[in-house]
């Protein structure tokens, strides 16, 4: 049965038994996640972190001809400020106050919808849920039914409550569910000659690198839902196939397109590192029957990389990797091949789908540090202080705590990391580590008494 039969997307905890609290080693994590269901853990103390509302907003804000209405207090609406660098991005807040939470905010929502339509003339309007509305239980659907015929464009509710999941990537699932149910064209008889490249969290630099590869190989494509428009989303069901840049984020969309709309899903690795990029392209080539052209492209890229990448550039360096679990094996193998020692990794969550990535880490010691958590920098600082890490490699912002523990932070934000170009960019960043290691060593953000505790001091097994 398709997940689209549900009114809204299930949380990752319900759908895939997602775990977002763990602190131990690789062997223990594999053992803990090997059953038919993953036992949940809780934190008795937790730092601030992202939620599914923020993740949903992040991807919706890149759909260029849509408008977003954040249905909640002005504080929730402020998440739009961080996205103002997107030129065609439009967002509104219903600015619900205490009176509205008691008497209902339907009038404010109607006003916001009409204002968005009159000012921006979008092709679709997304109404993003917040904790205020989830608790108040406003009847959003009645407002949608009243106004959708009047303005003549889709008005789509995004059911993000902000507190029902500890796995913020659920926000991507909620957006996916809604666009599949209310935007993607149904009953398509004739497929067209293009590939859906599915992207959710990638910076535009990485998306551009993959687009360049497709262009060089003369493969027609469209990116969605990130950096797309409403018409491109509609025609997703007409694609020849779909390929996903990060499976743990985009497989929901790819699998539903395959099951419901008969669009084949080309399952691949994340295109990170030489090996990951090679496997990504070879899977695509096998589907399109263009193996000769792709092998020639890979051979040329390998020859060029051999001229700029120093094999032992990471010799005697200890690295901690803080990235999505689907990317951990690729980065860990890349750093190992460059002579480094990967002593630990951290990811936001592990579930029944992405746990297969842990088996790909068989080249690392079983004692490798493993931290699963959304945010929680204090747990990572605890391990960094005990292991004299040289490089903290992260795809997230807010990593200054690592420099306080003596590590050099290499951030992938706004850097190319995908494709063969990404290997070159990362290798060049690594060359500068020695220059910065002593220069930016600072006083720790955390007391010594905290760092003497075990790393899982605040992580407990949930009692059922």
67 found inside a domain: yes
Helices and strands per DSSP (H, E), number in the chain = 21, 16
Please identify, among 164, 187, 220, the residue that sits at the C-terminal boundary of a domain: 164
Q: Supply the range of the domain harboring residue 77.
A: 52-164
Asked, for residue 5, whether it belongs to a domain, the answer is no
Dihedral (CA of 142, 143, 149, 152) sign:
negative
Boundary residue ending a domain (164, 190, 209): 164
What pLDDT sits at residue 85? Answer: 56
Which residue blocks in 262-311 are alpha helix, DSSP H?
273-288, 291-308
Decide if 142 is inside a domain: yes
Within a domain: residue 225? Answer: no
User: What's the pLDDT at 183?
Assistant: 96
**The whole model's pTM is what?**
0.93
3-state secondary structure of 246: coil
pLDDT of residue 448: 78
Give the integer Cα–Cα distance in Å for 395 and 343: 17
Cis ω for the linkage preceding 225 (within 30 of 0): yes
Q: Which of 397, 259, 409, 268 is nearest to 327 (CA)?
A: 268
- pLDDT per residue of the chain (464 residues) written in tens, 0 to 9: 577 888 889 999 999 999 999 999 999 999 999 999 998 888 887 777 788 999 999 999 999 899 999 998 888 877 777 665 555 678 999 998 888 877 778 899 999 999 999 999 999 999 999 988 887 777 888 899 999 999 999 999 999 988 889 999 999 999 999 999 999 999 888 899 999 999 999 999 999 999 999 999 999 999 999 999 999 999 999 999 999 999 999 999 999 999 999 999 999 999 999 999 999 999 999 999 999 999 999 999 999 988 888 788 899 999 999 999 999 999 999 999 999 999 999 999 999 999 999 999 999 999 999 999 887 888 888 888 888 899 999 998 777 788 888 888 999 988 999 999 999 999 888 887 766 665 555 667 777 777 778 777 888 776 54
Q: Is 44 exposed, middle or buried (0-12, 13-18, 19+ CB in 10 A)?
A: exposed
Three-state DSSP state, 37? coil
Q: Is residue 197 part of a domain?
A: no
Interior CA angle at 349 toward 274 and 456, to 5°? Answer: 115
**Residue that terminates a domain, selected from 133, 164, 195:** 164
Residue 173's contacts (CB-CB under 8 Å, 6 or more residues apart) are 9, 10, 12, 15, 252
Question: How distant, in Å, are the alpha carbons of 238, 374, 451 from that of 387?
Answer: 51, 22, 12
Residue 160 · residue 70 · CB < 8 Å: no
Instruction: Give the tokens for residue 12.
Output: 């990752």
Rounded to whole angstroms, the Cα distance separating 338 from 341 reads 9
Q: How many domains does the chain have?
A: 2
- pLDDT at position 7: 82
Give the largest CA-CA distance in the chain.
68
Query: Hunting for tokens 């990752």 — which residue is that?
Result: 12
For residue 405, the cross-strand partners are: none
Cis peptide upstream of residue 169 (ω within 30 degrees of 0):
no
Q: Hey, is 225 helix, strand or coil?
A: strand
Q: How far is CA 135 from the centre of its chain?
A: 27
Rg (CA), the chain: 23
Is 47 inside any structural domain?
no
In a domain, 339, yes or no: yes
Q: Is the dihedral of CA 361, 343, 400, 351 positive or negative?
A: positive
- pLDDT of 11 reads 94
278 in any annotated domain: no
H or E element: which one contains 91? strand 90-93
Angle at 141 between CA 139 and CA 144, to 5 degrees: 125
Q: What is the pLDDT of residue 364?
A: 97
Q: What is the CATH number of the domain that holds 375?
A: 3.40.50.1980
């Amino acid at each position: 049965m398709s997940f689209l039969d549900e009114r809204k997307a299930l949380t990752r905890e319900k759908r895939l038994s997602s775990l977002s609290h763990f602190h131990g080693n690789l062997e223990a994590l594999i053992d803990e996640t090997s059953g038919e269901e993953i036992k949940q853990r809780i934190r008795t103390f937790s730092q601030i972190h992202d939620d599914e509302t923020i993740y949903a907003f992040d991807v919706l804000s890149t759909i260029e001809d849509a408008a977003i209405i954040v249905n909640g207090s002005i504080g929730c609406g402020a998440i739009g400020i961080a996205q103002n660098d997107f030129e065609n991005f439009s967002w509104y807040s219903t600015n619900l106050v205490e009176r509205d939470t008691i008497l209902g905010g339907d009038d404010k929502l109607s006003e916001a919808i009409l204002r968005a339509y009159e000012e921006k003339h979008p092709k679709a309007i997304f109404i993003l849920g917040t904790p205020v509305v989830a608790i108040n239980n406003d009847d959003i659907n009645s407002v949608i039914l009243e106004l959708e015929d009047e303005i003549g464009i889709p008005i789509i509710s995004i059911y993000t409550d902000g507190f029902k999941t500890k796995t913020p990537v659920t926000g991507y699932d909620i957006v996916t569910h809604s666009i599949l149910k209310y935007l993607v064209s149904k009953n398509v008889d004739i497929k067209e000659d293009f590939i859906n490249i599915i992207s959710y969290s990638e910076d535009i630099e990485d998306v551009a690198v993959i687009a360049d590869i497709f262009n060089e190989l003369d493969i027609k494509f469209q990116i969605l839902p990130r950096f797309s428009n409403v018409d491109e989303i509609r025609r997703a069901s007409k694609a020849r196939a779909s390929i996903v840049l990060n499976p743990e984020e985009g497989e929901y969309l790819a699998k539903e397109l395959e099951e419901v709309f008969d669009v084949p899903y080309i399952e691949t690795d994340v295109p990170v590192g030489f090996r990951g990029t090679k496997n990504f392209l070879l899977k695509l080539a096998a589907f399109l029957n263009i193996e000769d052209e792709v092998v020639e492209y890979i051979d040329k890229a390998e020859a060029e990389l051999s001229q700029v990448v120093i094999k032992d550039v990471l010799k005697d360096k200890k690295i901690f990797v803080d990235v999505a679990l689907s990317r951990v094996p690729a980065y860990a193998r890349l750093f190992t091949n460059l002579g480094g020692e990967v002593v630990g990794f951290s990811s936001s969550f592990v579930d029944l789908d992405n746990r297969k990535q842990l088996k790909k880490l068989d080249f690392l010691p079983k004692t490798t540090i493993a931290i699963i958590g959304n945010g929680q920098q204090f747990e990572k600082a605890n391990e960094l202080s005990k292991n004299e890490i040289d490089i903290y490699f992260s795809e997230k912002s807010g990593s200054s705590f690592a420099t306080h523990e003596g590590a050099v932070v290499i951030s992938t934000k706004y850097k190319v990391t995908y494709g063969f170009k990404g290997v070159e960019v990362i290798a060049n960043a690594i060359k500068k580590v020695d220059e910065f290691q002593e220069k930016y060593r600072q006083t720790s953000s955390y007391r010594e008494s905290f760092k003497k505790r075990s790393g899982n001091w605040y992580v407990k097994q949930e009692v059922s």
